[in-house]
Amino acid sequence: MDTIVRAMAEPDSGLDIRDRIWLKIPIPKSFLGSDLVNWLFENVDGFVNRNDARKYASSMLKAGYIRHTVHKLTFSEQCYYVFGDIYSQ
């Protein structure tokens, strides 16, 4: 999982990581859950379908590699995420 997160965080990874604003709250270096699932499905071998990639994203959240911007514990493709404290960029 650590190797995948490091690859995701690379500037040229293709994952859309950027500063965003949600309800007038700035969210630096964030990415959308659906973009994460798409990135995993397209860039990591072993996923049979998007649902497999979604489950993996959920496990990344539970393991602390990513975190929801308002600290929710369940993964949603509609929400913004940042890299978790377990991963230091």
Instruction: Render 23-72 in DSSP notation, one character per residue.
Output: TTEEEEEEEEHHHHHHHHHHHSTT-SSHHHHHHHHHHHHHHTSEEETT--
* Cα–Cα distances in angstroms (integers) from residue 87 to residues 19, 48, 65, in the given order: 18, 27, 6
CATH class of the domain whose range is 2-83: mainly alpha
Question: Rounded to a whole number, what is the distance in angstroms from the first to the last CA of the chain?
Answer: 15
Q: Note the pLDDT of residue 72.
A: 83
At position 55, the amino acid (one-letter code) is K
Pairwise CA distance, residues 6 & 25, whole Å:
26
14-68 pLDDT, tens per residue? 999 999 998 898 999 999 999 999 999 999 999 999 999 999 999 999 999 999 9
